[in-house]
Chains A and B, each alone.
Chain A
C-alpha cells in the first residue's frame, strides 16, 4: 500500500508470469505464508514424510460473501481441506493453495484473505508449501476462488471405513448444527438478528487427534459440510447397509440459528457446518469420546445424537422426533432455497 510500485487492483498481468507476478508473490503471498519450503519457490515442494501411509485431498472454495461472521474464504480454504484430512484419520502435513482471481480484485482485500489463511494454517500447525496464481478477465470469475490440496500421514490409531460401522454404534457430533450455513444464508439474504449468527469455521485436526490418541474405537468420521448431517448420515447408511436412528431432543442447536432456520423454512439437518465432525463410535467408547470433545474448545456442546440400528435391504436415516413421532431424514436435494410457505 505504501509501496509506490504496487497497484491496488489485480491486473491480468499479475497472473502473466512476469514482473507483476513476481511482485505479487513476493509482496502479498509470501508474507502471509512464509516457511522454509515455500520460500524456496521451487516448482514442486520437497517434503520428507514420517510415514509411507499418506492421505491426500483437494477442495475448491467459491463461498459468497468472501467475508462472513466467523471467517472468510481464506480461513475456510484451510479449515475445509485440513478437516477433510483429519476426518480420514490423517495428521495434516502440508497444503497447496491456488488462487483464481478476477481482474480488478482489490489487493488489500486479497492480503486480508491470505493473512487469514496463513494464520489458520499456522494455528493448525501445517505449512502451505506450494501454490499457484491465475488472473482471469473481469466477469470470468466472481472475485476470488481458492483451491487447496492437502497431504497428511495416517494416524496410527485410525481405521476409518464404512465397513466397520455396525449395529449399536453411537453417532456423535462435537457441537451445534448448521451454524455456518445459516450464517452465510442470512448474510446473503441481508437478514439481521439481535445476536448475530456466527460460522463455526474451525480446524478440527486437534480435536480429532485427541480422540484418536485416546485409543477410542472410532469406526468412521466425516465433516458434515454441504448437505449437513443429513447427507453424511445418508452416505453412511447407504454405504454400510445399516439404518441409523437420530434422537431429535439430543441434537445440539443454537437458538438463534434455529430461529433463522424456522424463518426461512430450512431443516438444520440439511445445513452446512465447517467446524463439525460426525463420529461413528463403538458404544463402549461413546461416553469417552463425548468427554474428550467436551474438554476441547471445539467440542463443548458435543453429544450422542443417535445410534446404528439393524442392517437392512434399504437402510434409511430416521429421526425420532420430540413428540415421539418418526420421520425419514432424506439426502438433501443439493441447494437450499428459502420457502415461501
Chain B
C-alpha cells in the first residue's frame, strides 16, 4: 500500500460498494490502519440508504391504508420520505420481517389484509423476492404484493465513473453480490474505465488483502478483475439466481437517493406479474422524482467534496434527521463525519 501511495504520489481513493464492507471497515477500525493518502470511500452499497424519497413516500401512502400490512426489513423503517418515515408514523400495521418468506407467511395468516412487501436490496436479496412471487403465484395468494425498489450494482458503478471529475481509483467489490453476478460482470467497468475491481470477503483481513491487491494493480497500472473471495465466486456467477431474477424482473431507469436516475439501475416486476406489483395494485403510475435540493451526496460519493462542504451538513441534515444516503446510513460518509469530525485529532 505504501508503495502504491509513493508510486502514484497522490491520494488514492478506493470505493467499496457494499454495505457489509462499509460496516466491516467501520467496526474493525480499518481506516486508521491504512496509509494517510489512501482513502476509502463508502459507495452506494447499502440498499436501504439508496432508496429514494419518492419510493418511501409511496410506501408511506400505502401504510396509511387500513386494509394493508407493510412487511419490511427492519432498517427500512428509519429511511425518511418527504414527510416522515415508517418509524415516525408509528403505525401498527408495519411488521418487521427477516425475509420475503416471512412476508408470504404474514399474507397467509391475514387473508383479510393485503400484505405489501417492501422489496429492497441488491442482487443478493432479489432472488428471494422472486421466489416469493413464484410462491404467491403458485398458491394463488391474491393478498400479497411487492413494492420493488431492488437495485443493481453494476449500473451504479458505471454511473459514478461516467460522472465527470470523479476521483474513484478502484472498486472493492462485494463478496455476496459477486457470488450471484460473477466476476465477468465487472469486466466492462475495467475495460471502459480502466479501474481495478477486486472482490473481497468481509473479515477484516480479507478487506485488507483486497485493498492490498488494488494497490498492487494501481502500482503496476494493470487494472483487472480479481476475486480474493473464497471459491464461491465464479466468473459467471449463480445462473439459477439470475434466471429467476430475469423471469420476474426487468431493469429500468429508477431513482437512487441523492444520485438521480441511474440508467438500468432499478428493477421492477414484468408486466405478466402486474398483479403482484403494489404500484399497479394501488394505482401509482411511477415513482415521483425526489426533492433533495441542496444534497451533495453524489459529490461526496465520488470523492469530490468532504461532507462538511455540503451546505446542509449539520444544519438540515443530521443523523437523527437525515436527508441524503450518506447520512441515512449510520456508517455513511456524512454520518461518520458528523459523529467524529469534530473530535480533536488524536495525539500520536
Nearest chain A CB to B187 CB, angstrom units: 24
Q: Does A265 reach chain B (CB closer than 8 Å)? A: yes
Known: A330-B339, A340-B76. A323 touches B96 (CB 8 A): no
A29–B205 alpha-carbon span in the complex (Å):
57
A323 lies within 8 A of B27 (CB): no
Q: When A and B form their complex, which 10 residue pairs have the shortest distance between CB atoms, in order from nearest?
A: A325-B29, A341-B19, A337-B74, A327-B29, A321-B29, A340-B73, A338-B74, A326-B29, A323-B204, A325-B33
Residues in A99-149 with C-beta less than 8 Å from chain B: none
| A335 neighbours in B (Cβ, 8 Å) | 87
Known: A322-B204, A323-B33, A327-B26. A333 touches B330 (CB 8 A): yes
| A316 neighbours in B (Cβ, 8 Å) | 343
Q: Does A59 reach chain B (CB closer than 8 Å)? A: no
Please, which residue of chain A has its CB at the minimum distance from the CB of B176? A341
Main secondary structure, interface of A, reads loop
Partner among B26, B29, B78, B339 whose Cβ is within 8 Å of the Cβ of A337: B78
User: How does the 8 Å CB contact mask read for B45-56 relative to A, with 1 for contact and 0 for none?
Assistant: 111100000000
User: How does the 8 Å CB contact mask read for B78-104 relative to A, with 1 for contact and 0 for none?
Assistant: 100000000100000000101000000
Nearest chain B CB to A305 CB, angstrom units: 16
Nearest chain B CB to A132 CB, angstrom units: 28
Known pairs A314-B342, A339-B23; list 5 more (Cβ under 8 Å): A319-B29, A325-B33, A339-B48, A340-B121, A341-B121
**Chain B residues in contact with chain A, CB under 8 A?**
18-20, 23, 26-33, 45-48, 73-78, 87, 96, 98, 120-122, 125, 204-205, 208, 330, 339-340, 342-344, 346
A325 lies within 8 A of B330 (CB): no
B45 lies within 8 A of A341 (CB): yes
B33 lies within 8 A of A324 (CB): yes
| B346 neighbours in A (Cβ, 8 Å) | 326
Q: Does A189 reach chain B (CB closer than 8 Å)? A: yes
Partner among B18, B31, B339 whose Cβ is within 8 Å of the Cβ of A325: B31
Nearest chain A CB to B59 CB, angstrom units: 15
Q: Does A191 reach chain B (CB closer than 8 Å)? A: yes
Q: Does A239 reach chain B (CB closer than 8 Å)? A: no
| B75 neighbours in A (Cβ, 8 Å) | 265, 337-340
User: How does the 8 Å CB contact mask read for A169-198 relative to B, with 1 for contact and 0 for none?
Assistant: 000000000000000000001010000000
Q: Does A247 reach chain B (CB closer than 8 Å)? A: no
Nearest chain A CB to B30 CB, angstrom units: 5
Please, which residue of chain A has its CB at the minimum distance from the CB of B18? A341
Known: A189-B98, A323-B33, A324-B33. A341 touches B48 (CB 8 A): yes
A321–B203 alpha-carbon span in the complex (Å):
13
| A330 neighbours in B (Cβ, 8 Å) | 339
| A313 neighbours in B (Cβ, 8 Å) | 344
Please, which residue of chain B has its CB at the minimum distance from the CB of A188? B96
Please, which residue of chain B has its CB at the minimum distance from the CB of A265? B23
| B342 neighbours in A (Cβ, 8 Å) | 314
Please, which residue of chain A has its CB at the minimum distance from the CB of B339? A330
B45 lies within 8 A of A321 (CB): no
B205 lies within 8 A of A341 (CB): no
Q: Would you give 12 A-B contacts (Cβ < 8 Å), ordered by A?
A: A264-B98, A323-B208, A324-B33, A326-B346, A333-B330, A338-B74, A339-B73, A339-B74, A340-B75, A340-B121, A341-B45, A341-B122
Please, which residue of chain A has its CB at the minimum distance from the CB of B124? A341
B29 lies within 8 A of A323 (CB): yes
User: How does the 8 Å CB contact mask read for A237-272 relative to B, with 1 for contact and 0 for none?
Assistant: 000000000000000000000000000110100000
| A314 neighbours in B (Cβ, 8 Å) | 342-344
Known: A312-B344, A341-B46. A328 touches B339 (CB 8 A): yes
Please, which residue of chain A has its CB at the minimum distance from the CB of B346? A326
A326–B31 alpha-carbon span in the complex (Å):
8
A264–B48 alpha-carbon span in the complex (Å):
15
| B87 neighbours in A (Cβ, 8 Å) | 335
| B204 neighbours in A (Cβ, 8 Å) | 321-323, 325
Known: A191-B98, A312-B344, A314-B344. A341 touches B20 (CB 8 A): yes
A340 lies within 8 A of B120 (CB): yes
| A312 neighbours in B (Cβ, 8 Å) | 344
B47 lies within 8 A of A340 (CB): yes
A328–B335 alpha-carbon span in the complex (Å):
13
Known: A265-B23, A340-B76, A340-B120. A325 touches B125 (CB 8 A): no
B98 lies within 8 A of A327 (CB): no
| B28 neighbours in A (Cβ, 8 Å) | 321-323, 325, 327
Please, which residue of chain B has its CB at the minimum distance from the CB of A325? B29
Chain B CB within 10 Å, residue with most, of A313, A328, A337: A337
A103–B144 alpha-carbon span in the complex (Å):
33
A325–B26 alpha-carbon span in the complex (Å):
10
A324–B76 alpha-carbon span in the complex (Å):
33
